[in-house]
A and B are shown apart, each in its own frame.
Chain A
Amino acid sequence: MAAGTWHLAVTYFWPDSSQFESYSAIVLIMANQHQLPFEKPIYELEAQLSKLEAEPDPTPVVQESIRRMRVELTQMTRERYENLDPWDTVQVSRHPERPQTSDYIELVFDEFVELHGDKSFGDDRAIVTGFAKLDGHKVMLVGHQKGRTLKERNECLFGCAHPEGYRKAMSKMEMASRFGIPIICLIDTPGAYPGVGAEERGQAYNIAVNLRDMSTLEVPIVCVVIGEGGSGGALGIGIGDHIAVLQHAYYSVISPEGCAGILWKHNKHADKAARALRFTSKDLVELGVVDEVVSEPLGGAHRNHRQMAMTLKATLAEALQSLDGLPKEELLDRRYERFRKIGVFEEEAVV
């Protein structure tokens, strides 16, 4: 990783580099190490640009080409990211440096008081729960955690929760409801964990209970799909009053690989399944399943955690504000109707 690229990245994505912290710097450098195939031209152009910028005494000609290259880079990035194939979107949503719940805990919330355990089996690290403060307002935060280092990833199983994770989430949310604390759910999972232990401990039952009981919680619930919205594992903390999805996240009934394996008989057709399933943020709004798409920074959330966090913070604050003060009955009726109306079918008119 050339120091020049790093410098460029700062000036490029954080015009005010004085506010910059080493945290984000590390993230950026790491992000550059995980290039997605379709990002290659962007990174190549960046490398060229950084070489020019590294010149100690740039002539006016060099300065001019730097300027033009920057414009080109912005345009290229924008164009690439505005025309992502759904399969590319899946890659972005899974980017190793994409901000996770733990990053948002740092960057969005003023305080986080983690509450562990389901008081029944254990403390599933694939879902974190706890009190948090959003601009001074108390909330209960529930979020999938994928982990970034190998150690973390092994602990949280890449965000694939077990029954005890869903039970932990439900017990904290139920408590939040009793104490009148609004709930924020950050969804980021490839799916609930498919394992022997998970089946033995009632994966299906615990997800089902969450679907049923989240619909009855008497406080506002805001859900945001921040990365992968993997089927039942996502929906298990996904029943709410306002459902948002980040621009390059996806939310699907089944993983594209799983769908391809069943319907195309091989998971190498995952790209085809990704296109057929219509699970990008744009599709989800068109299908009436999510209420809002949250814009990502140019080039995806992994390129600028801080900017992404600020946008998410504003989204959360606004959503909670809009739900604040609704009478409980109305809140629950609206939540019921929100899901009740989803479904497309034909029905002969009753004569």
Chain B
Amino acid sequence: MTTTDKSGQRTWLQDMKRPKRGVPEGLWLRCDGCGATVFRNQVEENLNICSECDHHFYVPTASRIQQLLDLDSFEEWYADLRPVDPLKFADRIAYSERLVQEQKRTGMTEACTVGRGYMRGRPLVFGMTDSSFIMGSMGSVVGEKLCRAVEQATEKSLPLIIVSGSGGGARMHEGIISLMQMGKVSAALARFRKAGGLFISVLTNPTMGGVAASFASLGDVVIAEPNALVGFAGPRVVQATCKIDLPDGFQTSEFLLKHGFVDRIVHRAQMRTELARIIDYCVH
């Protein structure tokens, strides 16, 4: 599927990769929103938001869970699912090698984490994709974890929240198997929906391609963080096809809100409160 524009204005990936690559962690960050040089610690203490312009930086999985769920309430499920290389895929490096590198760099086994947690005392099934691991793309493990999470939510009659951060859509390195994960997770969501489950989808920067074109768009309520890149085709591909300048704010959360595909844009500082409130409206 499509991916985000690597050369575009969004350099979240480069920013967040830097410390994890073993390069000494810089004290300062350059904000993509306002261009200001900001103190890294200050940003991290402020939910990874720029205090100058409110730019929402990337949030790693552990911090996201901390930000959204009650303290120590998260119980991870299926952590022992590991990716393999079904196609024996190799581009400039072998996929099996890439997986090892990504696991080392990020400290995660895959791009997806699922489990059960509490949000201000409300039990729920929680899942998220982390854009730092192979662009947060969906291969077999991401598809399987999400699918099991949806099935668990159905079985246990719990609300479901999935936070998406996937620039890569369906993962190319697992070929057609990745594409089929879109169908698999969407079918599980159909059953969850029929059973009366509440699914809130939270879109973060970036949510693109096959992730956007499956579970991420299917929330009963779709919430987006401000100014996240969300769309089907990558902006570079769209530009190449249409051969026109892309409209201002194309494929941002605000663009989606305007065109009717996002219910609410929610600032990270209010996210937990907003999500809990929506749960209260739907879950009795």
Contacts and interface: CB of A to CB of B under 8 A. Distances in A.
A340 B179 contact: no
Contacts of A215: 183, 186-187, 190
A258 B245 CA distance: 21
B213 A263 contact: no
Contacts of B141: 343, 345
Contacts, number: 205
A347 B190 contact: no
Given A194-B232, A216-B194, A346-B84, A211 B176 contact: no
Interface stretch (B44-52, B87-95, B275-283): B87-95
A248 to B, nearest CB: 16
Given A207-B232, A345-B81, A278 B175 contact: yes
| Range of interface residues on A (Cβ < 8 Å) | 35 or more
Contacts of A273: 91
Contact of B82 (A262, A284, A345): A345
A208 B215 contact: yes
Interface string A252-263: 111000110011
A194 B86 contact: no
Interface in A269-293: 272-273, 276-279, 283-284, 287, 289
B159 interface: no
A346 B83 CA distance: 6
B140 A344 contact: yes
Given A198-B232, A287-B177, A212 B187 contact: yes
A348 B82 CA distance: 9
Given A196-B247, A346-B81, A238 B183 contact: yes
B182 A347 contact: no
Nearest to A201: B259
A344 B184 contact: no
A29 B213 CA distance: 41
Interface of A: 192-196, 198-205, 207-209, 211-213, 215-216, 231-232, 235-236, 238-239, 251-254, 258-259, 262-264, 272-273, 276-279, 283-284, 287, 289, 335-336, 339-340, 342-348
Interface of B: 1-3, 78, 80-84, 86-87, 89-92, 140-141, 143-144, 147, 169-172, 174-184, 186-191, 193-194, 209-210, 212-218, 230-234, 237-238, 241-242, 244, 246-247, 250-251, 255, 259-261
7 contacts: A194-B237, A209-B217, A213-B190, A232-B209, A232-B232, A235-B183, A252-B175
Closest 7 CB pairs of A and B: A194-B233, A211-B186, A263-B91, A215-B187, A204-B212, A343-B140, A344-B86
